Amino acid sequence: MSTVIESPVEQVEKNLEEVETVTIRFAGDSGDGMQLTGTQFTNTSAVVGNDISTLPDFPAEIRAPAGSLPGVSGFQLNFSSQDIKTPGDQPSVLVAMNPAALKVNLSDLEEGGTLIINTDGFTPENLKYANYASNPLEDGSLAGYRVHKLPITALNMNALKGNVELSRKEIDRCKNFFALGVLYWLFDRPMENTLAWITSKFGKNPELAKANEIALKTGYNFADTTEVFTTHYTIKKAKIAPGKYRKITGNEATALGFVAASQLAGRPLFYGSYPITPASDILHELARHKSFGVKTFQAEDEIAAVCAAIGASFAGQIGLTGTSGPGVALKQEAIGLAVMTELPLVIINVQRGGPSTGLPTKTEQADLFQAVWGRNGECPVIVVAPATPADCFHMAIEAVRLAFKHMSPVFYLSDGYLANGAEPWALPQIDELPKINVVFANDPANFMPYSRDPETLARPYAIPGTPGLEHRIGG
């Protein structure tokens, strides 16, 4: 009998290079976990001190067929040692889990960019779904890029099979953590924060938690030992102003901004809304803040939502309603009523793509004319718009301040890009935020419903129930 002696595997020598900025796009089917993968990479990058900006991209269809072009879900992240303002135009790294993800996103990848491809997804059926006449991994069409071909599905399956008591389908769903581990090594990210998140998120399912943990570590170790990668990259901490920071999306910042405005004005906040993408998260976030006197009302339709908010404004509260472009079209007659009655109503429009019903998960900034001139008759309103996800907080406060100062409806124009994108937000000092002055009429002897403030031209604000100030307004 002969004895086989295996020599130890020689560690591949790896180079570590420093870069300033990297833009990564994760792309795959809706069920491939690209949003989760991108979010975890973002959170880790924020923890290590990089400046970040993100752009999630969801399919417009409710559930497109697996492997199809319309079903591609993406998440783009720009992280840097410098101050950045956008999630970037062209990604420098594209992670493609199947042919459709490659087909949809390849044209955006910068020249000479890095491709990390799950070769197991490039089956004849998936190639056909993506309208490829030949396999791009074999026909030379990717010659202008640095291509890393990894059998991610098989590597993940081999790592987990026999180590966890999960079905093949459940094991396959862990492959996004394998891919995340590869990217963590490639860009010198620690795994500890994601491992802690896995334990917290999947604590009630220990086998799934174990599987995701193994997949993440295996992906990291694979990248560290394979000859596929000879170089990995490090990005220094960004130089940012001192303070306490958290990652925030535009919708979260919008909601918190209006809660802050309520406290600064000393008036309760009422939010009347009908669920609509991409504005629904504002309703969800505001509903969590009842302890601050926030009232949320999910109406039966857009018209009921805005009319309820007008009623709240008439009663002396901060009347707020939120929607997207199609919902604004339905609200316009009621907004005209708020203009005619001169009430401090705020209308949030989180703009989305296309006319009519449009594309709920796509972004566009095409509703400015609708906001300014979208009502019948002479019907002017104030329009404000935030510039970044974090700026949504401050612009929400400004919208409320202007509404009360001028006794006028105010349009707050956000969009899907801001709503779902995220960036670091420096928690403000409360005493540095602008106070919102709300003055109610209380002198019956000199009260006239439509007399004018000589500076702002606003009419006096008399709320129902004030003795001697009974009056009629209407439209």
Output the six-digit token pair for 213: 């943990």
Output the six-digit token pair for 217: 């570590």
The CA distance from 285 to 281, in Å, is 6
Work out the number of other CB atoms within 10 angstroms of the CB of residue 305. 28
Structural domains in the chain, sorted by start: 15-234 (3.40.920.10), 247-432 (3.40.50.970)
For residue 161, the 8-state DSSP code is B
**In Å, what is the CA distance from 262 to each residue of 397, 406, 433?**
9, 17, 12
pLDDT tens, the chain, 475 aa long: 333 333 344 556 789 999 999 999 999 998 899 999 999 999 999 999 999 999 999 888 877 888 999 999 999 999 999 999 899 999 999 999 999 999 999 999 999 999 999 999 999 999 999 999 999 999 999 999 999 999 999 999 999 999 999 999 999 999 999 999 999 999 999 999 999 999 999 989 999 999 999 999 999 999 999 999 999 999 999 988 889 999 999 999 999 999 999 999 999 999 999 999 999 999 999 999 999 999 999 999 999 999 999 999 999 999 999 999 999 999 999 999 999 999 999 999 999 999 999 999 999 999 999 999 999 999 999 999 999 999 999 999 999 999 999 999 999 999 999 999 999 999 999 899 999 999 999 999 989 998 999 999 999 999 999 999 998 876 5
For residues 361 and 30, the answer to whether their CB atoms sit within 8 Å is: no
* pLDDT score recorded for residue 461: 96
**Whole-prediction pTM:** 0.88
Within 132-230, strands assigned E span 146-150
* pLDDT score recorded for residue 475: 59
Q: Is 93 helix (H, G, I), strand (E, B) or coil?
A: strand
The CA distance from 411 to 383, in Å, is 5
The CA distance from 152 to 116, in Å, is 10
Sign of the torsion formed by the C-alpha atoms of 425, 430, 435 and 439: positive
* pLDDT score recorded for residue 19: 96
Within 190-315, strands assigned E span 231-234, 245-249, 269-273, 294-298
Q: Which residues pair with 94 in a beta bridge?
A: 25, 115
Encoded amino acid at 345, one letter:
L
Query: How far is residue 364 CA from its own chain's centroid?
Result: 14
- Is 372 exposed, middle or buried, given 0-12, 13-18 or 19+ CB atoms closer than 10 A? middle
Output the six-digit token pair for 319: 């009347």
Please, which residues have CB within 8 angstroms of residue 280's CB and are 6 or more apart in sequence?
273
Pairing of strands 269-273, 245-249: unpaired
Q: Is 406 helix (H, G, I), strand (E, B) or coil?
A: helix
